[in-house]
Amino acid sequence: MRKRRTALSVYLLSVVCGALYACAPSNPPAKPNVQATERDPQTPPRQPVSSPNDPISRQLPRASKQLQGNRFSGVLHFESEADEVFVSAEPTAGEVKLGDAHTGKAALLLPSGTQRLTIKLSSLLAGREFPGDWTLVGLYLRADGAAALTLSCEEAGGSVIAGRKLALPAGQWTPAMIDISALPDAQRDEVSFVLRFDEPTRSIVRCDDLVLIDNRQTLLDGGKGGWTIKRIGLRITCERPLRFNFGVVTADGSPQGWEVEEANDLRARFESVAGETKSLSVYADGRSYWDGEYKPLSAEVRDDKSFAAAHASPAEVSVPEMMGRLVRNTPGDANNDGYNEQLGAYQLAAAGARIEATLSPRTTAVPRPVLQVAGLPDGKALITIEGRLVERSTRLKDGQLLVELPARITRPTLVTIRIQ
Protein backbone atom coordinates (compact mmCIF):
# COMPACT_ATOMS: atom_id res chain seq x y z
CA MET A 1 0.00 0.00 0.00
CA ARG A 2 2.80 2.39 0.94
CA LYS A 3 4.52 1.64 -2.40
CA ARG A 4 1.32 2.54 -4.28
CA ARG A 5 0.98 5.86 -2.40
CA THR A 6 4.65 6.69 -3.19
CA ALA A 7 4.20 5.94 -6.90
CA LEU A 8 1.02 8.06 -7.00
CA SER A 9 2.85 10.98 -5.33
CA VAL A 10 5.70 10.83 -7.87
CA TYR A 11 3.21 10.76 -10.74
CA LEU A 12 1.25 13.80 -9.43
CA LEU A 13 4.52 15.73 -8.91
CA SER A 14 5.62 15.08 -12.51
CA VAL A 15 2.27 16.29 -13.86
CA VAL A 16 2.48 19.55 -11.88
CA CYS A 17 6.09 20.21 -13.01
CA GLY A 18 5.15 19.56 -16.64
CA ALA A 19 2.27 22.03 -16.41
CA LEU A 20 4.50 24.71 -14.88
CA TYR A 21 7.13 24.17 -17.63
CA ALA A 22 4.46 24.48 -20.37
CA CYS A 23 3.31 27.80 -18.93
CA ALA A 24 6.81 29.27 -18.63
CA PRO A 25 7.60 32.14 -21.05
CA SER A 26 9.85 31.31 -24.02
CA ASN A 27 11.26 34.73 -24.85
CA PRO A 28 14.39 34.60 -27.04
CA PRO A 29 17.61 35.95 -25.50
CA ALA A 30 18.26 39.65 -25.90
CA LYS A 31 20.34 40.71 -28.87
CA PRO A 32 24.00 40.96 -27.80
CA ASN A 33 25.85 44.25 -28.06
CA VAL A 34 29.30 44.72 -29.62
CA GLN A 35 31.13 43.58 -26.50
CA ALA A 36 28.93 40.48 -26.21
CA THR A 37 29.70 39.40 -29.78
CA GLU A 38 33.46 39.70 -29.40
CA ARG A 39 35.14 36.32 -29.14
CA ASP A 40 38.68 35.16 -28.44
CA PRO A 41 39.81 32.28 -30.73
CA GLN A 42 41.66 30.66 -27.84
CA THR A 43 38.31 29.43 -26.52
CA PRO A 44 36.37 28.41 -29.64
CA PRO A 45 32.68 27.65 -29.14
CA ARG A 46 31.22 24.21 -29.66
CA GLN A 47 29.47 23.80 -32.99
CA PRO A 48 25.94 22.43 -32.45
CA VAL A 49 23.21 22.99 -35.00
CA SER A 50 22.52 26.71 -35.35
CA SER A 51 19.36 28.24 -33.95
CA PRO A 52 18.16 31.82 -34.54
CA ASN A 53 17.69 32.04 -30.77
CA ASP A 54 21.40 31.44 -30.11
CA PRO A 55 23.57 34.50 -29.40
CA ILE A 56 24.86 36.08 -32.60
CA SER A 57 28.43 35.49 -31.39
CA ARG A 58 27.79 31.73 -31.56
CA GLN A 59 25.95 31.80 -34.87
CA LEU A 60 28.57 33.80 -36.76
CA PRO A 61 31.43 31.23 -36.83
CA ARG A 62 28.95 28.59 -38.02
CA ALA A 63 27.70 30.84 -40.79
CA SER A 64 31.12 32.11 -41.92
CA LYS A 65 34.25 30.02 -42.36
CA GLN A 66 36.23 33.26 -42.45
CA LEU A 67 35.51 33.83 -38.75
CA GLN A 68 36.47 30.38 -37.53
CA GLY A 69 39.65 30.55 -35.46
CA ASN A 70 39.82 34.34 -35.68
CA ARG A 71 39.03 37.04 -33.15
CA PHE A 72 36.04 39.13 -34.25
CA SER A 73 33.66 41.76 -32.98
CA GLY A 74 30.07 42.20 -34.12
CA VAL A 75 29.26 45.84 -34.82
CA LEU A 76 25.76 45.87 -36.37
CA HIS A 77 23.42 42.91 -36.94
CA PHE A 78 20.21 44.51 -38.31
CA GLU A 79 17.92 42.78 -35.81
CA SER A 80 15.61 45.75 -35.21
CA GLU A 81 14.36 48.84 -37.00
CA ALA A 82 16.45 50.94 -34.62
CA ASP A 83 19.56 49.78 -36.55
CA GLU A 84 18.36 51.68 -39.63
CA VAL A 85 19.53 54.96 -38.07
CA PHE A 86 23.16 53.98 -38.78
CA VAL A 87 22.66 53.41 -42.51
CA SER A 88 21.52 55.29 -45.57
CA ALA A 89 20.87 54.04 -49.09
CA GLU A 90 20.37 55.76 -52.42
CA PRO A 91 18.02 56.37 -54.07
CA THR A 92 15.66 54.48 -51.70
CA ALA A 93 16.26 53.67 -48.03
CA GLY A 94 16.75 50.08 -46.93
CA GLU A 95 14.55 48.35 -44.37
CA VAL A 96 15.20 45.81 -41.64
CA LYS A 97 12.99 42.78 -42.38
CA LEU A 98 12.47 39.45 -40.65
CA GLY A 99 13.53 36.26 -42.44
CA ASP A 100 16.35 35.07 -44.72
CA ALA A 101 19.11 36.45 -42.50
CA HIS A 102 22.79 35.55 -42.37
CA THR A 103 22.45 35.15 -38.61
CA GLY A 104 19.67 36.05 -36.19
CA LYS A 105 16.15 36.68 -37.38
CA ALA A 106 16.40 39.75 -39.60
CA ALA A 107 18.54 41.52 -42.20
CA LEU A 108 18.67 44.86 -44.00
CA LEU A 109 16.93 44.71 -47.40
CA LEU A 110 18.05 47.05 -50.18
CA PRO A 111 15.39 47.39 -52.88
CA SER A 112 15.97 46.87 -56.56
CA GLY A 113 17.60 49.92 -58.11
CA THR A 114 19.92 50.64 -55.15
CA GLN A 115 23.10 52.43 -56.16
CA ARG A 116 24.82 53.07 -52.84
CA LEU A 117 24.78 52.05 -49.17
CA THR A 118 26.57 54.00 -46.46
CA ILE A 119 27.10 52.76 -42.88
CA LYS A 120 28.31 55.23 -40.26
CA LEU A 121 31.20 53.38 -38.68
CA SER A 122 32.24 56.25 -36.43
CA SER A 123 28.87 56.29 -34.71
CA LEU A 124 28.98 52.53 -34.17
CA LEU A 125 32.56 52.45 -32.89
CA ALA A 126 31.88 55.14 -30.26
CA GLY A 127 35.19 56.98 -30.54
CA ARG A 128 37.44 53.92 -30.61
CA GLU A 129 40.64 54.11 -32.66
CA PHE A 130 40.21 52.75 -36.16
CA PRO A 131 41.46 50.28 -37.24
CA GLY A 132 43.12 49.49 -33.91
CA ASP A 133 44.02 45.78 -33.77
CA TRP A 134 41.57 44.83 -36.51
CA THR A 135 42.64 43.75 -40.01
CA LEU A 136 39.29 43.45 -41.80
CA VAL A 137 35.96 45.26 -41.71
CA GLY A 138 32.90 44.26 -43.68
CA LEU A 139 29.51 42.63 -43.79
CA TYR A 140 27.70 39.80 -45.55
CA LEU A 141 25.66 40.28 -48.72
CA ARG A 142 23.16 38.16 -50.58
CA ALA A 143 21.66 39.22 -53.91
CA ASP A 144 18.93 37.53 -55.91
CA GLY A 145 20.92 38.45 -59.02
CA ALA A 146 24.67 38.79 -59.58
CA ALA A 147 26.14 42.26 -59.09
CA ALA A 148 29.48 44.06 -59.20
CA LEU A 149 30.37 46.70 -56.62
CA THR A 150 33.12 48.69 -54.97
CA LEU A 151 33.71 48.56 -51.21
CA SER A 152 35.42 51.44 -49.46
CA CYS A 153 36.17 53.01 -46.10
CA GLU A 154 35.84 56.77 -46.41
CA GLU A 155 36.56 59.76 -44.22
CA ALA A 156 34.58 62.99 -44.18
CA GLY A 157 34.34 64.54 -47.63
CA GLY A 158 34.53 61.18 -49.42
CA SER A 159 38.29 60.62 -49.03
CA VAL A 160 38.86 56.87 -49.58
CA ILE A 161 41.31 55.32 -47.09
CA ALA A 162 40.80 51.65 -48.09
CA GLY A 163 38.80 49.83 -50.74
CA ARG A 164 38.45 47.00 -53.23
CA LYS A 165 36.25 45.61 -56.00
CA LEU A 166 33.87 42.70 -55.40
CA ALA A 167 31.90 40.43 -57.72
CA LEU A 168 28.74 39.38 -55.88
CA PRO A 169 27.32 36.02 -57.04
CA ALA A 170 23.60 35.37 -57.02
CA GLY A 171 21.80 33.50 -54.29
CA GLN A 172 24.49 33.04 -51.64
CA TRP A 173 25.76 34.91 -48.60
CA THR A 174 29.12 36.42 -49.52
CA PRO A 175 31.62 38.19 -47.20
CA ALA A 176 32.27 41.76 -48.40
CA MET A 177 35.46 42.63 -46.52
CA ILE A 178 37.97 45.46 -46.78
CA ASP A 179 41.61 45.01 -45.73
CA ILE A 180 42.38 47.70 -43.13
CA SER A 181 45.61 46.12 -41.83
CA ALA A 182 47.80 48.78 -43.45
CA LEU A 183 45.84 51.76 -42.12
CA PRO A 184 47.55 53.79 -39.37
CA ASP A 185 45.68 54.14 -36.09
CA ALA A 186 43.93 57.47 -35.78
CA GLN A 187 41.08 59.09 -33.88
CA ARG A 188 39.02 59.90 -36.95
CA ASP A 189 36.07 62.26 -36.57
CA GLU A 190 34.08 60.46 -39.23
CA VAL A 191 34.55 57.23 -41.15
CA SER A 192 31.98 55.29 -43.16
CA PHE A 193 31.74 51.88 -44.78
CA VAL A 194 30.39 52.38 -48.31
CA LEU A 195 29.04 50.06 -51.02
CA ARG A 196 28.79 51.44 -54.56
CA PHE A 197 27.13 49.20 -57.12
CA ASP A 198 28.53 49.44 -60.65
CA GLU A 199 24.94 49.52 -61.93
CA PRO A 200 21.66 50.01 -60.05
CA THR A 201 20.76 46.63 -58.57
CA ARG A 202 18.25 44.57 -60.55
CA SER A 203 17.12 42.60 -57.53
CA ILE A 204 16.83 42.80 -53.76
CA VAL A 205 20.16 42.74 -51.88
CA ARG A 206 20.23 41.56 -48.27
CA CYS A 207 22.87 42.88 -45.86
CA ASP A 208 23.72 41.47 -42.44
CA ASP A 209 26.38 41.27 -39.72
CA LEU A 210 28.81 44.17 -39.97
CA VAL A 211 31.94 42.83 -38.23
CA LEU A 212 35.54 43.67 -37.39
CA ILE A 213 38.01 40.77 -37.72
CA ASP A 214 41.59 40.19 -36.60
CA ASN A 215 42.83 37.39 -38.86
CA ARG A 216 46.57 37.75 -38.26
CA GLN A 217 48.16 34.33 -38.50
CA THR A 218 51.81 33.32 -38.53
CA LEU A 219 52.03 30.24 -40.73
CA LEU A 220 55.79 29.89 -40.30
CA ASP A 221 58.38 31.61 -38.11
CA GLY A 222 61.86 30.51 -39.12
CA GLY A 223 63.52 32.47 -36.32
CA LYS A 224 66.74 34.43 -36.70
CA GLY A 225 68.10 34.08 -40.22
CA GLY A 226 65.02 32.16 -41.39
CA TRP A 227 61.92 33.31 -43.17
CA THR A 228 58.39 34.08 -42.04
CA ILE A 229 55.08 33.42 -43.75
CA LYS A 230 52.06 35.31 -42.47
CA ARG A 231 48.43 35.86 -43.34
CA ILE A 232 47.10 39.32 -42.53
CA GLY A 233 44.02 41.01 -43.92
CA LEU A 234 43.56 39.84 -47.51
CA ARG A 235 47.24 39.08 -48.17
CA ILE A 236 49.79 36.35 -47.52
CA THR A 237 53.36 37.61 -47.13
CA CYS A 238 56.69 35.78 -47.33
CA GLU A 239 59.72 37.58 -45.95
CA ARG A 240 63.35 36.78 -45.31
CA PRO A 241 65.23 39.80 -43.93
CA LEU A 242 67.79 41.29 -46.32
CA ARG A 243 66.80 38.71 -48.96
CA PHE A 244 63.25 39.24 -50.22
CA ASN A 245 59.75 40.26 -49.25
CA PHE A 246 56.71 39.57 -51.40
CA GLY A 247 53.01 38.94 -50.98
CA VAL A 248 49.99 37.51 -52.78
CA VAL A 249 46.26 38.19 -52.43
CA THR A 250 44.23 35.52 -50.63
CA ALA A 251 41.28 33.70 -52.17
CA ASP A 252 39.06 35.76 -49.84
CA GLY A 253 40.41 38.93 -51.42
CA SER A 254 40.03 37.92 -55.07
CA PRO A 255 38.56 35.04 -57.10
CA GLN A 256 42.07 34.76 -58.59
CA GLY A 257 43.64 34.74 -55.10
CA TRP A 258 45.71 32.08 -53.38
CA GLU A 259 45.42 29.41 -50.68
CA VAL A 260 48.43 28.08 -48.74
CA GLU A 261 49.04 24.38 -49.43
CA GLU A 262 52.40 24.00 -47.70
CA ALA A 263 54.65 26.09 -45.46
CA ASN A 264 57.90 24.83 -43.93
CA ASP A 265 61.52 25.85 -43.41
CA LEU A 266 62.46 24.96 -46.99
CA ARG A 267 59.44 25.72 -49.15
CA ALA A 268 56.00 27.25 -49.36
CA ARG A 269 53.38 26.26 -51.92
CA PHE A 270 50.26 28.15 -52.97
CA GLU A 271 47.37 27.22 -55.24
CA SER A 272 44.79 29.35 -57.03
CA VAL A 273 41.56 27.75 -58.24
CA ALA A 274 40.38 30.51 -60.58
CA GLY A 275 43.60 32.44 -61.23
CA GLU A 276 45.41 32.48 -64.55
CA THR A 277 48.42 31.06 -62.67
CA LYS A 278 47.42 27.98 -60.67
CA SER A 279 50.58 26.90 -58.87
CA LEU A 280 53.28 28.84 -57.00
CA SER A 281 56.26 27.31 -55.18
CA VAL A 282 58.70 29.50 -53.23
CA TYR A 283 61.95 28.43 -51.55
CA ALA A 284 63.57 30.09 -48.57
CA ASP A 285 66.56 31.23 -50.66
CA GLY A 286 64.32 33.16 -53.09
CA ARG A 287 63.72 30.66 -55.88
CA SER A 288 60.11 30.73 -57.07
CA TYR A 289 58.19 28.79 -59.71
CA TRP A 290 54.94 30.16 -61.17
CA ASP A 291 53.21 27.32 -63.05
CA GLY A 292 56.71 25.99 -63.65
CA GLU A 293 58.20 29.29 -64.80
CA TYR A 294 61.28 30.17 -62.77
CA LYS A 295 61.38 33.67 -61.22
CA PRO A 296 64.13 34.69 -58.76
CA LEU A 297 63.04 36.79 -55.78
CA SER A 298 66.38 37.41 -54.06
CA ALA A 299 69.55 39.02 -55.41
CA GLU A 300 71.51 35.85 -54.58
CA VAL A 301 69.60 33.55 -56.91
CA ARG A 302 68.97 36.29 -59.47
CA ASP A 303 72.71 36.99 -59.87
CA ASP A 304 73.61 33.29 -60.10
CA LYS A 305 72.42 32.35 -63.61
CA SER A 306 73.04 28.66 -62.97
CA PHE A 307 69.75 28.44 -61.01
CA ALA A 308 67.79 29.36 -64.14
CA ALA A 309 69.97 27.15 -66.34
CA ALA A 310 69.54 24.12 -64.07
CA HIS A 311 65.77 24.62 -64.12
CA ALA A 312 65.77 24.66 -67.92
CA SER A 313 68.13 21.69 -68.12
CA PRO A 314 67.84 19.60 -64.94
CA ALA A 315 70.28 16.89 -63.93
CA GLU A 316 69.86 13.26 -64.90
CA VAL A 317 68.96 11.14 -61.87
CA SER A 318 69.51 7.39 -61.53
CA VAL A 319 68.24 5.16 -58.70
CA PRO A 320 69.17 1.47 -58.17
CA GLU A 321 66.09 -0.58 -59.05
CA MET A 322 66.08 -2.48 -55.74
CA MET A 323 66.02 0.79 -53.77
CA GLY A 324 63.29 2.67 -55.58
CA ARG A 325 62.77 4.72 -58.70
CA LEU A 326 62.68 8.15 -60.29
CA VAL A 327 59.02 9.24 -60.57
CA ARG A 328 58.38 10.72 -64.01
CA ASN A 329 54.61 11.31 -64.00
CA THR A 330 53.88 13.72 -61.13
CA PRO A 331 51.51 16.64 -61.92
CA GLY A 332 53.76 19.54 -62.89
CA ASP A 333 56.53 17.47 -64.51
CA ALA A 334 56.43 19.00 -67.99
CA ASN A 335 58.95 16.65 -69.62
CA ASN A 336 58.38 13.40 -67.68
CA ASP A 337 62.05 13.43 -66.71
CA GLY A 338 61.59 13.23 -62.94
CA TYR A 339 62.16 16.94 -62.37
CA ASN A 340 58.91 18.67 -61.44
CA GLU A 341 59.07 22.20 -62.83
CA GLN A 342 56.11 23.43 -60.76
CA LEU A 343 57.70 22.25 -57.51
CA GLY A 344 61.33 22.92 -58.45
CA ALA A 345 62.24 19.45 -57.12
CA TYR A 346 63.34 16.01 -58.31
CA GLN A 347 60.74 13.32 -57.55
CA LEU A 348 61.85 9.98 -56.09
CA ALA A 349 60.06 6.99 -54.59
CA ALA A 350 61.83 4.72 -52.10
CA ALA A 351 61.20 0.97 -51.93
CA GLY A 352 62.19 0.77 -48.28
CA ALA A 353 64.04 2.60 -45.53
CA ARG A 354 67.09 3.38 -47.68
CA ILE A 355 67.51 4.95 -51.11
CA GLU A 356 70.47 6.10 -53.15
CA ALA A 357 70.40 8.47 -56.10
CA THR A 358 73.12 9.73 -58.41
CA LEU A 359 72.69 13.21 -59.87
CA SER A 360 74.58 13.91 -63.11
CA PRO A 361 74.49 17.42 -64.64
CA ARG A 362 73.57 17.45 -68.30
CA THR A 363 74.76 20.83 -69.60
CA THR A 364 75.30 23.04 -66.56
CA ALA A 365 76.10 22.94 -62.86
CA VAL A 366 73.12 22.31 -60.58
CA PRO A 367 73.13 24.54 -57.48
CA ARG A 368 71.35 23.35 -54.31
CA PRO A 369 69.10 20.72 -55.94
CA VAL A 370 65.96 19.70 -54.03
CA LEU A 371 64.81 16.08 -53.71
CA GLN A 372 61.24 15.11 -52.81
CA VAL A 373 61.12 11.47 -51.73
CA ALA A 374 57.98 9.38 -51.26
CA GLY A 375 57.70 5.92 -49.72
CA LEU A 376 60.13 6.31 -46.82
CA PRO A 377 58.91 5.00 -43.46
CA ASP A 378 58.55 7.23 -40.40
CA GLY A 379 61.71 8.01 -38.49
CA LYS A 380 64.71 10.31 -38.49
CA ALA A 381 66.37 10.68 -41.87
CA LEU A 382 70.16 10.40 -42.14
CA ILE A 383 71.13 12.09 -45.41
CA THR A 384 74.61 12.27 -46.90
CA ILE A 385 76.03 13.63 -50.14
CA GLU A 386 79.25 11.76 -50.92
CA GLY A 387 79.66 11.06 -47.21
CA ARG A 388 78.96 14.64 -46.07
CA LEU A 389 76.01 15.05 -43.72
CA VAL A 390 73.01 17.04 -44.99
CA GLU A 391 71.03 18.88 -42.34
CA ARG A 392 68.26 20.65 -44.29
CA SER A 393 65.25 18.39 -44.68
CA THR A 394 61.63 18.32 -43.60
CA ARG A 395 58.66 15.97 -43.70
CA LEU A 396 55.61 17.09 -45.65
CA LYS A 397 52.03 16.49 -44.49
CA ASP A 398 51.73 13.40 -46.69
CA GLY A 399 54.94 11.90 -45.27
CA GLN A 400 57.24 12.71 -48.18
CA LEU A 401 60.74 13.88 -47.31
CA LEU A 402 61.91 17.21 -48.76
CA VAL A 403 65.69 17.61 -48.92
CA GLU A 404 67.80 20.55 -50.07
CA LEU A 405 71.36 19.49 -50.95
CA PRO A 406 73.92 22.12 -49.85
CA ALA A 407 76.14 21.65 -52.87
CA ARG A 408 76.78 22.79 -56.41
CA ILE A 409 76.62 19.61 -58.49
CA THR A 410 79.21 19.72 -61.28
CA ARG A 411 79.80 15.95 -61.78
CA PRO A 412 77.97 12.69 -61.01
CA THR A 413 77.26 12.86 -57.27
CA LEU A 414 75.87 10.17 -54.95
CA VAL A 415 73.18 11.01 -52.38
CA THR A 416 72.18 8.48 -49.73
CA ILE A 417 69.05 8.67 -47.54
CA ARG A 418 68.50 6.21 -44.70
CA ILE A 419 65.76 6.16 -42.08
CA GLN A 420 67.06 5.36 -38.63
Report the range of poorest mean pLDDT among 34-38, 168-172, 244-248.
34-38
∠ Cα 162 87 214 (to 5°): 45
What type of residue sits at position 50? Answer: S
Confidence of residue 418 (pLDDT cuts 50, 70, 90): very high
pLDDT tens digits for range 58-88 = 999 999 988 999 999 999 999 999 999 999 9
Buried b (16+ CB within 10 A) or exposed e, 345-383: bbbbbbeebebbbebebeebbbbbbbbbbbbbeeeebeb
Q: What confidence score (pLDDT) does residue 224 get?
A: 87
| Confidence check: pLDDT of 25 > 60 | no
| Contact indicator for 198, 182 with CB cutoff of 8 Å | no
User: Dihedrals φ, ψ of 181, to 5°?
Assistant: -65, -25
Confidence of residue 364 (pLDDT cuts 50, 70, 90): confident
Rounded to the nearest integer, the mean pLDDT of the chain is 88
With a pLDDT cut of 90, the percent of the chain lying above it is 80
Asked whether the predicted pLDDT for residue 11 surpasses 80, the reply is no
Please tell me the predicted confidence (pLDDT) of residue 300: 94
pLDDT digit string, tens, across residues 124-177: 988 778 898 999 999 999 999 999 999 999 998 889 999 999 999 999 999 999
pLDDT band at 184 (very low <50, low <70, confident <90, very high): confident
